[in-house]
Amino acid sequence: MRYYNNDTGMQQSTAMVTPPDATVPATRQVRQMEVMPEHAGRRIDNFLAWVLKGVPKSRIYRMLRSGEARVNGGRVRPAYRICPGDRLRIPPVHTEASPKGRDVPEWLKTALRDAVVYEDPDLLALDKPAGVAVHSGTGMSLGLIEALRAMRPEEPYLELVHRLDRGTSGCLLVARRPEVLRALHGMLRAGRIEKTYLTLLRGRWRGGAEVVDLGLRRDVLRSGERMVGVATDGKPARTVFAPRELFRSASLMEARLITGRTHQIRVHAVEIDHPVAGDAKYGDKGFNRVMRDLGLRDLFLHSHRISLVSPRLGARISIVTELPAALRAVLQALRAACY
């Protein structure tokens, strides 16, 4: 097993908060809220998104960066986890129509109904289609989680456990209870949820499994585009790549996440000179053109398997979602073309 790391760059072996009625504009006055114990441990960005239904995540991030939204009188990062007794300053902000009042396109309703692959009292697992954003944001008025809430108005609580990029397909977890969400976030931080992806990489893979242990740092370019890069002072990030099927100039790989950083697989793949097929942000343009000619229309990155122990029920849950038909067709084209 080969091993990569940053050191060498070389191979080595308030009262209880209730969301406002978002069908009317929010008050034009600053609001103060106190965090109650049942909300402790939630990320501030997720909590504000829950309170301010209909406000895009991009707006919430701006509120935090600018200091419009504050905790105990100070600025905090989006990843800050709120504590009992924290005092939140929430600025006046216009909210869109309630998600429960939005019209979800019929194609999206059908796609999401078909996407549910697992359900229990605490958790939903969906096989997310590529091209569907997990939440509203820049250029997106309705994401998967908003659509899901609109389709299940009887459910008081639905929150993303983690995220997948818009172009990534596969297994996505949604919590149905706040205490389950907090527990699952703790399990993710502790590495107690196993996540494995399937991805197509440029080039023919040599050898067996490889560990890539390269810290990652997220930067924002002048254009406003968010990019992630390898940095010795970045957050620890580790991916294990293992071959599944080899072609002359491409490789179908299994990528197991030991940590779960933004764009981790995509950036690690570039750093070992095997970029992900269809990756317009970090990938190889020439390789992507060849893959488009073979029918690839999205990022070839699929969340294949998630395994965990239910924090409340204690049962082992293993969820597997197979490659979508469009990605299987690309593999068939690769076999036929001997590329």
CA dihedral sign of residues 133, 296, 112, 39? negative
In angstroms, the CA 247 to CA 240 distance is: 20
Burial class for 326, CB neighbours closer than 10 Å (0-12, 13-18, 19+): middle
pTM: 0.76
CATH 3.30.2350.10 intervals, the chain: 105-337
31-94 maps to CATH 3.30.70.580:
no
Three-state secondary structure call for residue 270: helix
CATH 3.10.290.10 in the chain, residue ranges: 31-94
Strands (E), the chain: 2-5, 11-12, 31-34, 70-71, 87-90, 116-119, 123-128, 159-160, 169-175, 194-202, 210-213, 216-220, 226-230, 238-246, 250-257, 301-309, 316-320
pLDDT, one tens digit for every residue, the chain (339 residues): 666 666 554 444 333 333 433 333 444 578 888 887 767 788 999 889 888 877 888 889 999 999 999 999 999 999 999 998 899 999 988 655 444 446 899 999 999 999 999 999 999 999 999 999 998 765 566 889 999 999 998 888 899 999 999 999 999 999 999 889 989 999 998 999 999 999 999 999 999 999 999 999 988 675 667 789 999 999 999 999 999 999 999 999 999 999 999 999 999 999 999 999 999 999 999 999 999 999 999 999 999 999 999 998 899 999 999 999 999 999 999 999 878
The 10 Å Cβ neighbour count of residue 338 is 8
Give φ, ψ of 50 to 5 degrees.
-70, -40
Which residue do the tokens 């071959």 mark? 243
CATH superfamily placement of domain 105-337? Pseudouridine synthase (3.30.2350.10)
Structure tokens at 195: 């996540």
Q: Tell me which residues are annotated as active site.
A: 165
Task: Provide the β-strand partners of residue 56.
Answer: none
Give me the residue label for tokens 């300053």.
89
